[in-house]
A and B are shown apart, each in its own frame.
Chain A
Amino acid sequence: MGEFPLVIFTVLSQLAVGALITVVLLDHYSDKIDKSLGKKLTLIILGATAVGLGFSLLHLGHPFEAYRALANLGSSWLSREVVLFSVFTLLLIAYYFQWQKDSSNKKIVGILASVTGILGVISSGMVYVLPAVPAWNNFSPLVFFILTAVVLGPLFVIAVLKLHGITPPSNLVGIAGILLAGYLLSFILYTSVLFSSAGASGQTAAQMLASSSFWLRIGLTWLLPLGLIFWVIRKQTSEYKYLAGIFLLVFAGEIIGRYLFYDTAVFLKISGF
């Protein structure tokens, strides 16, 4: 699993961005997050970002020279991604201190960090929009990376809120469910288009469908969590074990899905070369 550091970096950074957006929105539209929880959530998000960035360095041949990756902002999405996630990390630190001070600038810093984070996730997606990989050379890396963020983030915050004895806003679980269902529909559409394509795209879909991890991912990311969300809403329960379970299932599914993203992509190849 050669791309393991990138699997961890992309999933954790997207989880962090999605979680931050959720925290900023909850802080604005509800009174569910007090100072102590706000600080704790921001620290966890900062930790996830830092761990992700640390893993991303392991992917490099020379991790200590990573600072030089800022050099090609003019055309390299990787340079842009490095800059945006560095700024995102700094803004997260600033956001933590805004919570600490209970500052009136907290909302502005939170919005700035969220926008930077979204742009970072977009850059992460654009890194993989490459003509040499037909299955990626379209909207899919961008859309799926954003969907990972907006699905994992709220589910994570819901689980943390419940861990602290706070019942999450009733509509948040429903919104997460709708996003997850939208994610599933987009994925079915994408896989169908790939499967009906010729050449490297079709081969990518065939490799994906032939992998047992693919079916495990379908179950973990979508079928089980959607079933659980449906059950939670229907029973009007908000027990921690169910809410945490939904997050952990989707998180595990996303890790497997990202591994498949790297592992099953078929590159353009000259036959025999």
Chain B
Amino acid sequence: MAKKMGFLVNVDRCFGCHTCEMACKNVYQLEPEVRWRKVYEIKEEYNLPERSFMSLACNHCEDPECKRVCPVKAYSIREDGIVLQDQSRCIGCKMCIMACPYEVPQFNTKLKKVEKCHMCFERLDKGQETVCVAACPAEAISTIDLEEYYQNGILDSLPGFPDPDITKPTTRFIKPRTGIQVRRDNNG
């Protein structure tokens, strides 16, 4: 069976250090305003006492809107499910930016073309980890083959995410858990 690659983000482990984001920018020498991976604080309510962070890149959707709307066929899906964008074909119409519900494709104002995460496919082909996975100090991100990987409690969406039925993203999540809290005893 063909692979179906996706990112697994363990939100419980991520503490918002941005190392994955910076490692990606560094290796691929991205323009200052472009970030293929973004780390952000989750604003949705989890009823947790601590802050939670999320690291998100392209979701390498099974039914990508970017690919559907692109007039120059710059997008393609590899056999292992990785969604690639051939920047040499891009004419900068920004249709993919409008169509992606996850705001993944980004406009490079210097090149006047769009770009996005390609899941370090060349590294994966050599048996190496993606740059973000290798850089994460908390082992909060990993790449998984959805056809083989199974773990209890992994989710295909988190509160505040667009409906996954629109594009069938392959990113999976482990949601944050409530940590052990030590409270001062007011009567003591």
Contact = CB atoms under 8 A, between A and B. Distances in A.
A270 B56 contact: yes
Interface of A is mostly: loop
Interface stretch (A59-67, A227-235, A253-261): A59-67
Contact of B65 (A70, A78, A127, A130): A130
A68 B44 CA distance: 42
B91 A68 contact: yes
Contact of B91 (A69, A133, A269): A69
Among B67, B90, B91, B167, the most chain A Cβ lie within 10 Å of the Cβ of B91
A82 interface: yes
A267 B103 contact: yes
Nearest to B109: A61
A69 B103 contact: no
A189 interface: no
A132 B73 contact: no
A60 B93 contact: yes
Given A62-B112, A62-B113, A69-B93, A130 B73 contact: no
A131 interface: yes
A47 B127 CA distance: 58
Interface string B86-106: 000111111100111111000
Contacts of B68: 75-76
Contacts of A78: 69, 71, 93, 95
A132 B71 contact: no
Contact of A132 (B43, B44, B91, B98): B98
Interface of B is mostly: loop
A76 B92 contact: no
Nearest to A2: B94
Contacts of A71: 71-73, 89
A222 interface: no
B166 interface: yes
Interface residues of A, number: 29
Given A60-B91, A62-B113, A66-B91, A271 B100 contact: no
Among B43, B69, B102, the most chain A Cβ lie within 10 Å of the Cβ of B69
B173 to A, nearest CB: 12
A272 B101 contact: no
Nearest to A273: B40
Interface in A40-68: 59-62, 65-66, 68
Given A78-B95, A273-B38, A61 B90 contact: yes
Among B44, B65, B99, the most chain A Cβ lie within 10 Å of the Cβ of B99
A79 interface: yes
Contacts of B91: 60-62, 65-66, 68-69
B100 A132 contact: yes
A193 interface: no
A68 B70 CA distance: 11
A258 to B, nearest CB: 15
Contacts of A82: 71
Contacts of A65: 91
B23 interface: no
Given A76-B95, A267-B103, A131 B72 contact: no
A59 B100 CA distance: 19
6 contacts: A61-B94, A62-B112, A69-B72, A76-B70, A79-B71, A272-B40
Interface of B: 38, 40-44, 54, 56, 65, 67-73, 89-95, 98-103, 107, 111-113, 160-162, 166-167
The 9 tightest CB contacts between A and B, nearest first, are: A61-B92, A61-B112, A69-B71, A271-B43, A78-B71, A79-B71, A272-B43, A132-B101, A272-B40
Given A62-B113, A131-B65, 7 more contacts: A71-B72, A71-B73, A71-B89, A76-B68, A127-B95, A130-B69, A132-B101
